[in-house]
Structure 1
């Protein structure tokens, strides 16, 4: 009897070891959360360490800016025009093939890298920290990749041995031009439900956007705010912000998410050649821990501690950059038309030196954006620097989607 018991224990141990082995990563690396961006450290062909945003909305790595201390060796083959979202012209980029990207112990070989002739993103100024560019969807092609937003780690797994944890929901991935799409369900403002095909874009700092160019498109809710949605490869993307009653990842449904509806002209060149209904971005994706199995076309999701975080939008209508990385000098990049900031007389290129009695030198750009996104019945008090003048202004911070 004792021998049988020992054998049973042995098999239980083997089973447990086998199950754990399927979830043992081949590599685990930390990442930085910059806003809702996932920023990782990458070396290209033995370069100095570059900081790249994980961007599944593009195919390849794009270097947007290099600092004087950054060293990288690339062999350029030609110059290519890159198309993307935005209403501007195409971008020119130098092309380099057959590069090796090193992330921790992981090496991604034979990768194409583009270097923009002009830095249209200004990622470092927008984020207030050094960012050299974007690493695309080819990051996911060789391994199962876990993005753990709770512990801020990325883990790599052998795609052939991997089995997802039982408490994760699964969505099939559909590939189009190597990019990942999933089907989600949305409840519209007229109480009708619609299935949508959405690009998975970890590099889009928003919850989701939906095209509006066809009769089948998700309907724009009756209450909306016009504003700037973001910067695409080819220019500024403008459109409407609103709340959508429900957006569902399988059985996980988020209520009253703030989503956007880009003006058709700013996305026409992309959506006309794609079957997509829109994009899910990093702000929504970061509410889940993810396993992305590119090889077997599956994405596994599980709500994390950010899942129930309130949704927000830029109530003030002020777009800002940090003029110097070494010092928090905050400059107004843009003011939304007809926004509270526009009504208060704030202009592009103004410097913001004080918010509600606190010097902006004591704040990060992320903290300032959070203030701009926090509705209040009380006005927000700013002191601006315009030329040699210091100008006090008060901004109405009431939520435009609520009745007071």
Structure 2
């Protein structure tokens, strides 16, 4: 099973956006369509076509309007027009960021099309998902799709099904539970319970499919929402307005009626990073991908309901990155690889007796460009930090296997392994090759 990885979590707020700006329409007789997605680090990546250009977007219940990361230089290709400069504010300690609002864009998701979609182009290079996900991600799509359809998110089979509400038929399910949703600024909230220090506490949580963590809670001593003595400080992600830091810990229990998850992961973001988010009346945090993926979900915004059915991920143990290392793609490297062919007798050429110059072309080897993985975050006091690793180190091999033979997610999975596992890394630090090893330790054991 794939583990959950700490990754970027964005939160955008757009107020007073209604249903009157047109809608998506499914262009087939069935009135429904299935769209396959990639599940990467608990995040849903779907194909989206904008103005005839095929792109990849995160499907995020926590955003109100589509965002495109314009530093990827796709605006000219998309022929964005009627742009107007605005400023957006979100999670993080920094200032608002500049964006261009564009009208009348054509969006296509599967068989669904919308002819007059607003789009927000953000130029901040920090909002680049691709290096940490290992796949291209050009933007984020949320409310505009969910408001027009009944949307089934099938995490176990990795597809979403969009259905015209007029053609949707609710099918009773003995093992399912249906919950009412509340909406603030076009974002869905659900009521749940957490058990902290043996105290059961009701909480209102944003349903945030664009976050890869399990659960974020806003500390509130009056309600009893506080971290236990067992926690560590960590980088939680990068929001629209800057980096977000906080505490990582465990809670005794998380429950949605009969669905109960023991010892769930929790993060408590610093209060300075969530001032804007806490303005939502009664909000206590976010419910994110590492819990959501344990259910197959049907979201019906028009009826303000969500139906949950637990799937094969439900009983997965809540793990976390025990190494303290966060990796990202960092360009490419030339790698020498041996080919499985016989030596070429003609591989020695240009040999003279006069100067004994000898140029060797050995056809058994080839040089290829392979992805490079760099350490971009290193938790203070973690096993990797104590071993001597540093930000900027390029990983050359993991447990004696060349790093380029792994995907980014495969390397990160290794860092989520069981307590006591030994990790050996060969790294390149400013041209010097060094070897390090450390033992994974479960902080909460």
Do the two structures share a fold, i.e. TM-score over 0.5? yes
Gaps of 5+ in 1: 1-23
Per-residue deviation, residues 356-399 of structure 1 (Å, max 9, x unmatched): 11111110110111111223314311111101211111223110
Matched, 1:175 2:177: no
Q: Which protein shows a greater Rg?
A: 2
Matched, 1:388 2:388: no
Q: Report the CA distance between 1:344 and its aligned residue.
A: 1.6
Matched, 1:58 2:101: no
Query: Which has the higher mean CA deviation after the structures are superposed, 325-334 or 355-364?
Result: 325-334
SS in 2 for 1:268: coil
SS in 1 for 2:64: coil
Q: 2:220 touches 2:226 (CA, 8 Å); kept in 1? A: no
Aligned to 1:278: 285
Q: Report the CA distance between 1:161 and its aligned residue.
A: 4.0
Over 6 Å off, 4+ runs: none
Per-residue deviation, residues 83-128 of structure 1 (Å, max 9, x unmatched): 1111222111111123231111111343221111222222111111
Which of 209, 213, 217 pairs up with 1:202? 209
Q: 1:66 touches 1:132 (CA, 8 Å); kept in 2? A: no
Aligned to 1:108: 114
Matched, 1:156 2:124: no
Aligned mates of 1:52, 1:277 — CA distance in 2: 27
Aligned to 1:31: 37
Gaps of 5+ in 2: 1-29, 333-368
Which of 319, 327, 332 pairs up with 2:370? 327
SS in 2 for 1:209: strand
Per-residue deviation, residues 152-188 of structure 1 (Å, max 9, x unmatched): 1111122234333322211111000011100011111
Q: Report the CA distance between 1:69 and its aligned residue.
A: 7.8
Aligned mates of 2:224, 2:91 — CA distance in 1: 18
Which of 342, 345, 354 pairs up with 2:385? 342
Aligned mates of 2:315, 2:277 — CA distance in 1: 32
Which of 142, 150, 156 pairs up with 2:148? 142
SS in 2 for 1:166: coil
Q: 1:108 touches 1:139 (CA, 8 Å); kept in 2? A: no
Matched, 1:215 2:222: yes
* Aligned Cα root-mean-square deviation (Å): 1.8
Aligned to 1:303: 310
Query: Which has the higher mean CA deviation after the structures are superposed, 167-176 or 209-218?
Result: 209-218
TM-score, with structure 2 as normaliser? 0.81
